[in-house]
Structure 1
């Protein structure tokens, strides 16, 4: 099994890159795991307490479970990927049955911060985007999809997202094998990743 890690700051366009890479690959042979599914379970906290968790810090992620699931998939086992709700700031009771594939793509802002997880990636990709661009994307997404208001998103960006990005996420660019600029000129980088995957599949 080929495991590809795709990291980058919030709103950098990781999901778009994942879709671009998967575009010409057979569905049955490529699977995706999102780091966002692996935020720790916080049912013991009140909603108020959960809403103040720093979700951009590596300790918010259940890396042990994510690593265990990848190891299981490598052994050919089906895993139960958790489902996380950004509305309630907690895991739901739902699961996603995830089957082993020839290629597994793991995407998320913090995936390259964890040494054990990093070791499991055959290819490490970092998607780079301008910080203004990322803020605008984050604003649009959080207001449209996560029921946040503009002040909340801007405050969170200034007080949490930007400092966490500078401290934890940006430095992981140094671990990347490929850095993909998130603009119209990233086609060559996408093609390189796709070519490696096709080679492994065949």
Structure 2
């Protein structure tokens, strides 16, 4: 198999990264696309007490095992399979369950901080930042956490103010300067999706 095309898709929480990823992937045969989510590469915390794990700032780069992710992307690029980790958010540590991932022509790396880390950027052929208004992102996150994660409004707001917003300003937003393409309004920007798909097909050809 020829060298894989690696696309990095970053942006703030609830910016529309997953929508962009799904729309891009939908243009290709599912067997051609691998999606690696940065969230699966949070560091193992099994050596910590549950009280210590609860203090983890998941929006800080230090919470992520970028070395392992970089190693896995390199293996996929070189035609080797990997055993991707998964994360158990109920226990706040890495799960014992892994997922076997085989090499494909297209690898999409998605997460709020994937452009912040140089070792990941160096492996990417296309770097994308999904840029959505802060108010819209907060509303989306609030609605998602209330409906899908059983959170209450006070805890969502407190987390957003204390960690999500400061980390966005310090790490996520500045990583936009590394992007080859900045997409306003995420998956609703069909022109941008078409440009990305065209570029991928050009590289593959």
Cα 1:3–1:42, aligned 2, differ >3 Å: closer, same or farther? same
Structure 1 moving runs of 4+ over 3 Å: none
CA deviations 1:84-119 (Å, max 9, x no partner) are 122222111111111111110000001111111111
User: Structure 2 length normalisation: TM-score?
Assistant: 0.94
| Structure 2 residue corresponding to 1:146, chosen from 138, 149, 163 | 149
Matches within 5 A, 1:1-202: 1-182=4-185, 186-202=189-205
CA distance in 1, matches of 2:144, 2:31: 29
Is the CA contact (8 Å cut-off) linking 2:19 and 2:186 kept in structure 1? no
Is the CA contact (8 Å cut-off) linking 1:81 and 1:95 kept in structure 2? yes
Q: CA deviation at 1:199?
A: 2.3
CA RMSD of aligned residues (A): 1.3
Q: CA deviation at 1:183?
A: 5.5
Task: Select between 172-181 and 139-148 the one with higher mean Cα deviation.
Answer: 139-148
Is the CA contact (8 Å cut-off) linking 2:16 and 2:187 kept in structure 1? no
Is the CA contact (8 Å cut-off) linking 1:32 and 1:107 kept in structure 2? yes
User: Structure 1 length normalisation: TM-score?
Assistant: 0.95
CA distance in 2, matches of 1:157, 1:68: 31
Task: Select between 101-110 and 22-31 the one with higher mean Cα deviation.
Answer: 22-31
Residue aligned with 1:125, SS: strand
The unaligned stretches of length 5 or more in structure 2 are: none
Cα 1:48–1:142, aligned 2, differ >3 Å: closer, same or farther? farther
